[in-house]
Structure 1
Amino acid sequence: MRRLAYGWRLWKGYMRIGFLKMTQYPADTSIWLVSMLIREASGFIGILAIAGVTGGIGSWNVYEICILFSMCAVIEAIGQTFFDSVWELINMIRWGRLDVYLTRPAPVLLQVLGEYMFFQAILATVVYVGIFLWAAWQIGLSFGGYEVLLLLEYLVCGTIINSGIYLIFNCLNFWLIQGGDMAVLVQTCREFVKYPLNVFPAAIQGFFTYILPLGFVAYYPAMALLGKTDLPVAGLMPLAAGVVTLLAALIWRVGLRSYDSTGT
């Protein structure tokens, strides 16, 4: 318990530093936020354009697609806020910055995750939540106890799965010179799950369900929320999150043990 309490105090300290960075450079914060919104909006407009021409995508109408996209974007924004430091692993390893963390009396992964926090991304979630609520109102989606619990579970499990997968592939930097390229490739593949997976071939559906379970970040929770599936999504989400967590923890530990600094 004392170790957990210490970790929580340390995490609060990192969050405070991240918040101060955001408020210290308001112009930079504004530019970062606008660029993020433009990036997401470009993909969103593309999806809506396709749906508008065809009247939907598969069995999904325009409003249901808005719900799927916004749920996917919210998870990405949470990851960018609190866990985006995993993308800095390549520089931490290459330049020996990880050595500093190894000398401190705190979990190395906690220090890595606390290195950078982008609270600007939390501001972007307001837009995505607004899109979600608007689309839900358009289709008359009601929110009872089950729906609220499902959404809370999706936020927790989706964040764990999304950020855990990014950590797994960024850990390849412990062994590969350009291991970050694999993580970028995974991030690019993530664009698939912004669309209904059932419009893709079975091989792609299976890949994003069993191999790279990004389908549980938004697609399957959205299916359950909209009543489009009989799968026990509420039970499958924590299972997928648990598998990703165990795999990420194992690869992180093995990678950290193999780390031998820069040799300089």
Structure 2
Amino acid sequence: MFYIKMFTQYMGQYMKTRLQYRTDLVVEFLSDLLFQAVNLVFILVVFGHTQLLAGWSREEIIFIYGFFLVPYAIFSAFFNIWDFNDRYIIKGEMDRILTRPIHSLFQVILERMELESLFGMITGVSIMIYAGIRLDLTLSWYDPILFLLMVIGGALVYGGIFVMLASIGFYSDAKTAIMPMMYNIGNYGRYPVDIYNGVIRFVLTWILPFAFVGVYPSAYFLGREEWYGYAFLTPVIGVAFFLIAIFVWNQGVKQYRGAGN
């Protein structure tokens, strides 16, 4: 209950701050919408030259992209830790974090959250509805529950990977370019893994499981029975990776020696 109370209080203060500058909030929302539209246009351009991509139709690829946007929006809202090394390790703000009686990772998440990113969920669901209508998809009564579980699993996959990357800062205070590179690799999860070679497919499934953010869970709703096993593994993989990330983070905190000389 203490953590829930802290979470709601942080959210309240964040919204008060953001609503002081409504124009900036609207501009940021429109820029995110434009960025997502560009990615969608790219898919349409690709299918302007072919009818199928490794057996996947245009509407199926669009559906996968829409699904991907939902867990990605949650990740972007609560795991905005791409500058963790620079802000908390090099500049020493981790010292302040560790003086408070609350888990350090929870504090970092609260301080760096960007709730406006959640608007991406609306865009993603809208794209999924459009593609679903074109594909004439039908839903069972339990599908919304599975959708929620898979979305949470996908967000935890992303969160777990980037928390582990941020934890590198506890062992080395040197700036690295690994975060931007990993963001780019994460984009591969927007597309069916069978368009890649075996090595990339293995990496996107078991090493950096970004495929569990988009294509695998989407395959269930698209009726791709050959991928059902992977789809149902999505919540398990998400929880497993995030628990590993918390363990790595806690071990890293033990190695942290402060920002003194």
TM-score normalised to structure 1 length? 0.92
CA shift in 2, pair 1:204/1:234, >3 Å: closer
Is 2:92 the partner of 1:126? no
User: For 1:68-107, what aligned pairs fall within 5 Å after superposition?
Assistant: 68-84=64-80, 86-90=81-85, 91-107=87-103
Q: Aligned partners of 1:73 and 1:33: how far apart in 2?
A: 14
User: For 1:39-58, what aligned pairs fall within 5 Å after superposition?
Assistant: 39-58=35-54
Shift of 1:180: 4.7
Q: Aligned partners of 2:24 and 2:47: how far apart in 1?
A: 35
- 1:48–1:62 Cα contact (<8 Å) kept: yes
Shift of 1:194: 1.2
Q: Aligned partners of 1:257 and 1:39: how far apart in 2?
A: 39
Is 2:161 the partner of 1:175? no
User: For 1:251-262, what aligned pairs fall within 5 Å after superposition?
Assistant: 251-262=248-259
Shift of 1:178: 4.2
Shift of 1:183: 2.0
How big is each residue's C-alpha offset from its partner over 1:91-146, in whole Å with a ceiling of 9 and x where there is no partner? 11111111111111111111110002222212232222111111101111111134
> Which is worse superposed, 235-244 or 19-28?
235-244
Q: Which amino acid aligns with 2:10?
A: Y
Aligned position for 2:245: 248
SS at match of 2:154: helix
Q: Aligned partners of 1:202 and 1:261: how far apart in 2?
A: 43
Which residues of structure 2 form unaligned runs of 5+? none
Aligned position for 1:22: 18
Shift of 1:234: 5.0
- 1:18–1:116 Cα contact (<8 Å) kept: no
Shift of 1:218: 1.4
Aligned position for 1:10: 6
Q: Which amino acid aligns with 1:233?
A: Y
- 1:150–1:225 Cα contact (<8 Å) kept: no
CA shift in 2, pair 1:108/1:101, >3 Å: same
Q: Aligned partners of 1:35 and 1:165: how far apart in 2?
A: 26
Aligned residues: 259
Q: Aligned partners of 1:75 and 1:113: how far apart in 2?
A: 16
> Which is worse superposed, 6-15 or 166-175?
166-175
CA shift in 2, pair 1:48/1:177, >3 Å: farther
Q: Aligned partners of 1:236 and 1:74: how far apart in 2?
A: 18
CA shift in 2, pair 1:51/1:81, >3 Å: same
Among 241, 259, 263, which residue is 2:260 paired with? 263
Q: Which amino acid aligns with 2:212?
A: F
Q: Aligned partners of 1:18 and 1:180: how far apart in 2?
A: 29
Q: Aligned partners of 1:118 and 1:20: how far apart in 2?
A: 13
Q: Aligned partners of 1:108 and 1:89: how far apart in 2?
A: 12
Q: Aligned partners of 1:200 and 1:229: how far apart in 2?
A: 20
How big is each residue's C-alpha offset from its partner over 1:158-205, in whole Å with a ceiling of 9 and x where there is no partner? 111111111111211222344552122111101111111111111111
Q: Aligned partners of 1:93 and 1:58: how far apart in 2?
A: 44
RMSD over aligned Cα, in angstroms?
1.6
- 1:52–1:62 Cα contact (<8 Å) kept: no
TM-score normalised to structure 2 length? 0.93
- 1:65–1:195 Cα contact (<8 Å) kept: yes
Which residues of structure 1 form unaligned runs of 5+? none
- 2:189–2:211 Cα contact (<8 Å) kept: yes
- 2:89–2:259 Cα contact (<8 Å) kept: yes
Aligned position for 2:233: 236
User: What percentage of aligned pairs have identical amino acids?
Assistant: 25
Q: Which amino acid aligns with 1:255?
A: G
CA shift in 2, pair 1:176/1:47, >3 Å: farther
Aligned position for 1:145: 141
- 2:159–2:242 Cα contact (<8 Å) kept: no
How big is each residue's C-alpha offset from its partner over 1:198-234, in whole Å with a ceiling of 9 and x where there is no partner? 1111111111001111111111011121121334235
Q: Aligned partners of 2:63 and 2:122: how far apart in 1?
A: 14
